[in-house]
Amino acid sequence: MKYFIRIWQGVEHKVIGTPKDKHTCKECNQTFNQKNFHVASAKIVGKEQLVLKRLKRTCKTCENSKRALRHTLNKDPKTPEKPTVCLHCGREDAQIVLDHDWNTKKFRNWACRNCNAKFRESTFDEYVEAGKKWYHVT
C-alpha cells in the first residue's frame, strides 16, 4: 500500500495515498489536495504491522469552523449543562459531544459519539424521510 509522510504535531505520520491525492470534502463538496484534510484514524496493515493513517473526510476549513461553532455553543449560557450519560441511548462510557444543527447553527442536544453520527438529520421530518429510504417505504 502506498503512503507518504506527514509531520503533524511534531510526529511523523504515514498517510495512505500520495501527496498529490485530491479528496472531496463531504461537508462543502469541494475538492482539495490532501493537505487540506486532517489526519484521522489509524489502520494497521500487512505482516509488518505497519500503522497507516487515513485522512478525515471533511476539509480543514469545515473542521475548523465546526470546532469554532461547538466552542461558541459550549460557552453559550443557554446551552444546558453537559450530562454524564448520553441522552439518546443512555451510555455512560462514551464520549459525550455537543450535537448541533449545522444549518441553523443552534444547539440540538448532547449525545454520545455513536448517536451523534447516527442522527444526522436536522429535524424530525428529515429523520422520518431518511428512515423511509432506509426501509424502502414509499
For Zn ion, the binding residues (CB under 5 A) are 25, 27-28, 59, 62, 86, 88-89, 112, 115
Backbone φ, ψ for residue 45 (5° rounding): -125, 155
Instruction: Provide the minimum distance between the beta carbon of 83 and Zn ion in the complex, in angstroms, as a whole number.
Output: 11
Instruction: Provide the minimum distance between the beta carbon of 49 and Zn ion in the complex, in angstroms, as a whole number.
Output: 32
Which of 28, 130 has the CB closer to Zn ion?
28
Beta bridge partners of 118: none
- Cα–Cα distance for residue pair 118/109, rounded to 1 Å: 13
Residues 6+ apart with CB under 8 A from 113: 94, 95, 97
Contacts for 99-106: CB closer than 8 Å, 24+ residues apart? 100/69, 100/70, 100/73, 102/66, 105/69
Instruction: Provide the minimum distance between the beta carbon of 100 and Zn ion in the complex, in angstroms, as a whole number.
Output: 16
Instruction: Provide the minimum distance between the beta carbon of 44 and Zn ion in the complex, in angstroms, as a whole number.
Output: 27
- Cα–Cα distance for residue pair 109/95, rounded to 1 Å: 14
Which of 1, 131 has the CB closer to Zn ion?
131
Which of 57, 132 has the CB closer to Zn ion?
57
Instruction: Provide the minimum distance between the beta carbon of 81 and Zn ion in the complex, in angstroms, as a whole number.
Output: 17
Exposure string for 73-84, b = 16+ CB within 10 A, e = fewer:
beeeeeeeeeee
Which of 15, 115 has the CB closer to Zn ion?
115
Which of 21, 27 has the CB closer to Zn ion?
27
